[in-house]
Chain A
Amino acid sequence: MRPLEPTTSKQRVAYGLAFFVLFIALWSWATFGGHVSKTFLANPLTMVQEGYELLAKQGFLFDIGMTIWRVIGGFALAAVIAVPIGVLMGAYKPVEAFLEPFVSFARYLPASAFIPLLILWAGIGELQKLLVIFIGAVFQIILMVAVTVGATRRDLVEAAYTLGARDSGIIRRVLLPSAAPEIAEILRLVLGWAWTYVIVAELIGSSSGIGHMITDSQALLNTGQIIFGIIVIGLIGLISDFLFKAFNAWLFPWKLA
Chain B
Amino acid sequence: MTVLRIDQVSRTFPARAGNAPTRALEPTTLDVGDNDFVTILGPSGCGKSTLLRIIAGLDRPTSGRVTLDGREVTGPGADRGMVFQSYTLFPWLTVRENIAFGLRERGVSQAERHDIADAFIRRVGLSGFENHWPKQLSGGMQQRTAIARALANDPKILLLDEPFGALDNQTRALMQEMLLGIWERDQKTVLFVTHDIEEAIFLGSRVIVMSARPGRIKAEIAVDLPHPRSYKIKTTPEFVALKERLVEEIRTEALKVAEQA
Contact = CB atoms under 8 A, between A and B. Distances in A.
B125 interface: no
B105 A156 contact: no
Interface in B49-98: 56-58, 75-78, 80-82, 84, 86, 88, 90-93
A174 B93 CA distance: 10
Contact of B82 (A156, A162, A165, A169): A162
A153 B86 CA distance: 11
A15 interface: no
Contacts of A174: 90
A164 B133 contact: no
B204 interface: no
A246 to B, nearest CB: 19
A219 B133 CA distance: 58
B92 A177 contact: yes
Interface string A138-172: 00000000000000010110111111111001000
Given A164-B102, A173-B105, A257-B136, A178 B58 contact: no
A252 interface: yes
| A interface SS class | helix
B84 A164 contact: no
Contact of B91 (A160, A166, A254): A254
Interface string A158-200: 1111111110010001100110100000000000000000000
B256 interface: no
Nearest to B146: A159
Nearest to A176: B92
Contact of A156 (B80, B88, B135, B159): B88
B143 interface: no
B101 interface: yes
B153 interface: yes
B149 A163 contact: yes
A252 B92 contact: yes
A178 B92 contact: yes
B106 interface: yes
Contacts of B136: 257
Interface in B103-143: 104-106, 132-136
Contact of B84 (A158, A177, A178, A255): A158
A180 to B, nearest CB: 8
A156 B105 CA distance: 15
A173 to B, nearest CB: 7
Contacts of B58: 158, 161-162
Contact of B80 (A162, A180, A252): A162
Interface in A81-120: none
A159 B88 contact: yes
A161 B76 contact: yes
A155 B82 contact: no
Given A159-B84, A169-B105, A257-B136, A177 B90 contact: yes
B88 A254 contact: no
B81 A163 contact: yes
A155 to B, nearest CB: 5
A15 B183 CA distance: 60
B105 A164 contact: yes
A177 B91 CA distance: 9
B76 A158 contact: yes
B135 A162 contact: no
B117 to A, nearest CB: 13
A169 to B, nearest CB: 5
A160 B78 CA distance: 9
12 contacts: A158-B84, A159-B90, A160-B101, A161-B58, A162-B56, A162-B77, A162-B78, A163-B149, A164-B78, A178-B92, A257-B132, A257-B135
Interface of A: 153, 155-156, 158-166, 169, 173-174, 177-178, 180, 252-255, 257
Given A162-B78, A163-B81, A163-B105, 17 more contacts: A155-B84, A155-B88, A158-B58, A158-B76, A158-B88, A159-B82, A159-B90, A160-B101, A161-B75, A162-B81, A163-B101, A164-B77, A164-B105, A169-B105, A173-B105, A177-B90, A257-B132
